[in-house]
C-alpha cells in the first residue's frame, strides 16, 4: 500500500510516504528551509514537527502505541466528534483511533508543503454515532510554522452536533520553566476542581500541579514560553473558540497508560477547538477551523 501511495502522492524533495513506527504508513512533509512534519494515516495524527533549525516542537511519549484501533499518546490527536468524556463515546471520540485516507498533497507557490487527509463514517463509527460525515484534516508546513485545519461536513440526511479539538502536545525542556500567555481575564472550567467556573487572573499560566482547564471563547492569539529551551511558540487560531491547558502532573501520569512517569516534566498541552458550545450541522452544512503554530 505504501508504494502505491508514494506513487500517487509522493512529490520529489517535498512529500514522501514511508513506513513509520510498526510499519504504519506516514506522510513526511519536508520544506525547502529544512523544517519537517510527519502525519500518520492512522488517527490522522501529526506526530512530529521540527522547525528549520531542527528543533522537535511536539511531544511524543516514549511509550506511545502505534497500533490499529489505539490512540497515540502525544503529537496532535484530533478529538472528534466528542471532547474528553463529555458524552457516551470513547474519550475524545473515535477519530483518533481510526484509519484515515490521504486525499491530496501539494507544494504551493509560496513553497509551503501541504497534505490533506480525510475520515468518513464506517460500520464501526455508525454503530456508536449514527451520522454520515466527512472530517478533513489539512496539514500545511512552512519554514517556521505549521497550520492544522479541520473541516467537518454533514454528508447525511439528519442534523448532528459535534465537538472537536486539536489536542496538541508541545515538548518543553522543563514544565517548571514553562508558561502560557494570552488568557488573562478569560473564564475557564476547571476539570481538576469539580469543573468549577473561574476566571484567569494572571498574565501567564505556570505549572505546579495537575492542570486541566477549558478556557471559554479565548483570544485567538496565545504564546507558549518554553524558557528552558529559550524559545516561544505563537499559537494563532481561527474559528476554534475554546482553549484547553493541560498537564497531568505526577499522580495522573502514573495512572495514565502509554505515558512515562516522568514525562509530565516535558509536556504542556495547549488545545484549540470547539468544545463548550458544540457545533450543530444540518445536512450538507460544514464547519471549519484552524490553528497555526509558529516558532
Ligand atoms: O484535554 C485534557 C484531557 O481531557 C485530560 O482530562 C486528560 O484526560 C487528557 O485529555 C487525556 O488526553 P489523551 O490524549 O492522553 O487521551
pLDDT one digit per residue (tens) for the chain, 295 residues: 999 999 999 999 999 999 999 999 999 999 999 999 999 999 999 999 999 999 999 999 999 999 999 999 999 999 999 999 999 999 999 999 999 999 999 999 999 999 999 999 999 999 999 999 999 999 999 999 999 999 999 999 999 999 999 999 999 999 999 999 999 999 999 999 999 999 999 999 999 999 999 999 999 999 999 999 999 999 999 999 999 999 999 999 999 999 999 999 999 999 999 999 999 999 999 999 999 999 9
Of 33, 31, 28, 22, give the one whose Cα is nearest residue 9.
28
Ligand 1 atom closest to residue 85's alpha carbon, by position in its atom list: 4
pLDDT at 144: 94
Which tens digits make up the pLDDT trace of 31-86?
999 999 999 999 999 999 999 999 999 999 999 999 999 999 999 999 999 999 99
Indicate yes or no: pTM above 0.75: yes
Q: How remote is the CA of residue 116 from the centroid of ligand 1, in Å?
A: 25
Q: Are 210 and 248 in contact (CB under 8 A)?
A: yes
In the block, cell 472550567 appears at: 189
Q: Which of 31, 167, 263, 290 is catalytic?
A: 167
DSSP summary character for residue 99: B
Residues with CB under 6 A from ligand 1: 71, 73, 77, 84, 91-92, 167, 191, 212, 244, 246, 269, 271
Residues in contact with 186: Cβ distance below 8 Å, sequence separation at least 6, in sequence order: 199, 200, 215, 216, 217, 218, 219
Q: Whose CA is nearest to atom 4 of ligand 1?
A: 84
Ligand 1 atom closest to residue 79's alpha carbon, by position in its atom list: 14
Ligand 1 center to residue 5 CA distance, Å? 32
The phi and psi torsions of 217 (rounded to 5 degrees) equal 50, 55
Helix (H) or strand (E) holding 58: none
Mutate to test the pocket of ligand 1, among 59, 90, 91, 195 (most ligand atoms within 8 A of CB): 91
Q: What is the mean pLDDT of the chain?
A: 97
Q: Which of 13, 55, 21, 63 is nearest to 39 (CA)?
A: 21
Predicted confidence (pLDDT) per residue in 1-37, tens digit: 999 999 999 999 999 999 999 999 999 999 999 999 9
Amino acid at each position: 500500500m505504501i508504494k502505491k501511495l508514494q506513487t500517487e502522492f509522493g512529490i520529489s524533495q517535498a512529500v514522501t510516504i514511508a513506513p513509520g513506527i510498526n510499519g504504519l504508513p506516514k506522510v513526511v512533509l519536508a520544506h525547502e528551509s529544512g523544517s519537517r512534519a510527519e502525519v500518520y494515516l492512522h488517527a490522522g495524527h501529526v506526530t512530529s514537527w521540527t522547525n528549520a533549525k531542527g528543533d522537535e516542537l511536539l511531544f511524543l511519549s516514549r511509550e506511545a502505541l502505534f497500533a490499529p484501533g489505539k490512540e497515540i499518546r502525544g503529537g496532535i490527536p484530533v478529538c472528534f466528534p466528542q471532547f474528553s468524556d463529555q458524552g457516551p463515546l470513547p474519550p475524545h471520540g473515535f477519530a483518533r483511533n481510526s484509519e484515515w485516507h490521504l486525499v491530496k498533497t501539494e507544494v504551493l507557490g509560496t513553497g509551503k508543503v501541504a497534505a490533506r487527509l480525510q475520515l468518513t463514517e464506517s460500520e464501526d463509527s455508525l454503530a456508536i454515532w449514527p451520522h454520515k460525515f466527512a472530517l478533513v484534516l489539512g496539514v500545511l508546513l512552512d519554514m517556521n510554522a505549521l497550520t492544522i485545519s479541520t473541516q467537518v461536513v454533514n454528508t447525511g440526511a439528519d442534523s448532528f452536533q459535534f465537538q472537536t479539538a486539536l489536542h496538541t502536545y508541545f515538548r518543553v525542556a522543563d514544565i517548571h520553566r514553562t508558561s502560557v500567555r494570552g488568557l488573562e481575564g478569560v473564564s475557564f472550567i476547571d476539570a481538576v476542581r469539580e469543573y468549577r467556573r473561574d476566571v484567569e487572573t494572571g498574565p501567564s499560566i505556570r505549572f505546579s500541579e495537575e492542570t486541566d482547564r477549558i478556557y471559554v471563547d479565548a483570544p485567538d492569539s496565545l504564546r507558549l514560553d518554553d524558557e528552558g529551551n529559550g524559545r516561544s511558540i505563537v499559537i494563532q487560531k481561527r474559528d476554534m473558540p475554546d482553549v484547553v491547558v493541560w498537564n497531568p502532573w505526577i499522580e495522573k501520569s502514573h495512572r495514565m497508560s502509554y505515558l512515562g512517569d516522568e514525562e509530565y516534566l516535558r509536556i504542556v498541552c495547549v488545545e484549540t477547538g470547539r468544545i463548550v458550545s458544540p457545533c450543530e450541522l444540518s445536512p450538507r452544512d460544514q464547519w471549519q477551523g484552524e490553528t497555526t503554530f509558529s516558532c
